[in-house]
Amino acid sequence: MTEPTYESTSRTVKAAGLTLHYHEAGPAGRPDEAPVVIMLHGGGPGASGWSNFGGNLPVLARHFRTLLVDQPCYGRSDKPELDKDYFSFSADAVAALMAELGIPRAHLIGNSLGGGTAVRMALDHPDQVGKLLLMGPGGVSVNLFAPDPTEGIKRLFEFNTATEPTKEQLRGFLGVMAYDQAIVTDELVEERWASATDPDTRLGSARMAASFAEPAWAADTMLWREAHRITQPVLLTWGREDRVNPLDGALVALRAIPDARLHVFPHCGHWAQTEQADEFNRLAVDFLSH
């Protein structure tokens, strides 16, 4: 299989009245016959499907028809005003994307914000969802010991609400994401800065954040209250040193979800797919293949 690149895998589709951007790659031969895996990114400044999961795509695409979706308000997808909570809006958009592409059912991998979207999809569109692999997911965890808001959420709000955000603020946020500070390179900061400060990206971030601030929709973001209704097999994964959605939050999700198991990565923050890429890829392939 040719190594997938950003350009070679880039696609767009019109679904639910939105233009959605995604990347797609799959096994050589007959990729349309392989099981489908949809990967949903987190909500940090400049985040996208490729920024979160581009490094994992070559491995997963050997086994699955793999889609890295730019969720609404992110990447090259549309940045609409939302008419419901973000998790529900994005879940509906992903479900519509699947219908448009003729994908009846897919496994979902969701990181942080994308984990919340994946859970809402399993609740609202259960027939379209196979297994769930959740990485420090939003909405379904409740901090038992860590303060709330967490350090990572505070840094995110600082950047997103600043009139003139700075590279120092961005570097500080990225540093909280990672346990190994060596991965927060100047190149990474510059790459995320270019995206995060784009006016269109800032508009999307503001609209996403506004949905979480809407009192009428607050209950719908508390996915932990509905987690007992998840019927799919779920693999919860967490970085032991996660400073965004800390490990103690996993305990509520693990107890509430009927068919859940938990894997903890040591020496790992909120980016298990990057910091522990080899172990994460092995885990994903094994869980989603059997």
Residues identified as active-site: 270
Helix/strand/coil (H, E, C) string of the chain? CCCCCHHHHEEEEEECCEEEEEEEECCCCCHHHCCEEEEECCCCCCCCHHHHHCCCHHHHCCCCEEEEECCCCCCCCCCCCCCCCHHHHHHHHHHHHHHHCCCCCEEEEEECHHHHHHHHHHHHCHHHEEEEEEECCCCCCCCCCCCCCCHHHHHHHHHHHCCCCCHHHHHHHHHHHCCCHHHCCHHHHHHHHHHHCCHHHHHHHHHHHHHHHCHHHHHHHCHHHCHHHCCCCEEEEEECCCCCCCHHHHHHHHHHCCCEEEEEECCCCCCHHHHCHHHHHHHHHHHHHC
